[in-house]
Chain A
Amino acid sequence: MSILELFKAIQTSDLSRFIGSQNHLFCAVAQMFHIAGLILLLASIVLVSLRLLGIGLPNLSVIQLSKATKWLVWSGLGLLTVSGIVIFVPAATNYAPNTFFWSKFILLAIALLLHVTLFRKVTTSENPNPFIAKTTAVLSLSLWFSVAFAGRFIGFF
């Protein structure tokens, strides 16, 4: 089964028909949850990264900040996933030829991989190597911002 056939099957599924039968503002509501999730996620990454880079919150520890934002990161990702499915399913075939759609998910995979490896390691150790901490923050910010940018681009192409 090719990707396009798979996306066609998704678009003609019962779930797709259900979403399609809703008011057009249903999709706007999904977009709102998508942006809410994105803000929770990005703001948390920004907050921790400011500290990792040594340019904010000097009186707080990295561990304290990552603990406080952990649930926000995962609720953000949860909101993004559910609302993203609602946005994707009824128009699945439109996304198949979209370069930014695929770029976004490749970037997302890399961002998530970094998040559960290096980022987690740096934000849970008492005294991370400052160079590694700063590199991780720059990589993490760049990747998550690129995911957001690629996502924003999808609708224009």
Chain B
Amino acid sequence: MQDLYADQHVQSVFVYVREAHPGEIYGHHDTFERKIEYATAFRDLFALRRPLLVDDLTGTAHNAFGRLPNMTYILGPGNRVVFRADWTDPPTVKAALDYLLAIRQRRREGARFAPFYAEIEGARWVDQAAFNAGLARNGPRAVTEFVEAQQRWARGEHLGAVNRRREAPTAAPDETP
């Protein structure tokens, strides 16, 4: 994707964070050196061409951006957030970039735009095979623990917090009689 936008001054970086599913082969990070070692393995495994930036051992950047395993943000000058998603979906990121770049282009051409706030309900395609392969690569324990987590979710455990995510914040008191 970075090649697609190379001539439009779009930057693309990857921030390497904690191992979401530690296993016997790739476990948790116990030292920063280990984190660098795994980040290097990640870069080589996926032939990553984007700059790879490694977060510190306590996850300072990861925590500050929401601590989810595969988020995407698009930042503008001054680190202004112009897009954020709790999971990475390449077609959605591309659609957002095309939208943002088209507005910038039309503004340069003299069109007048007023800023406004919008949200969208995302839907991402789930590449289950690739995800399962990743779990297996980290080690058998990563596979087992995720299967067990799926069983807990299927039983309805821990869903309260998930559902709260979809609920509107507490409304202002109703002042009508």
| A and B form one complex | no
Q: Point out residues on A near B: beta carbons under 8 Å.
A: none
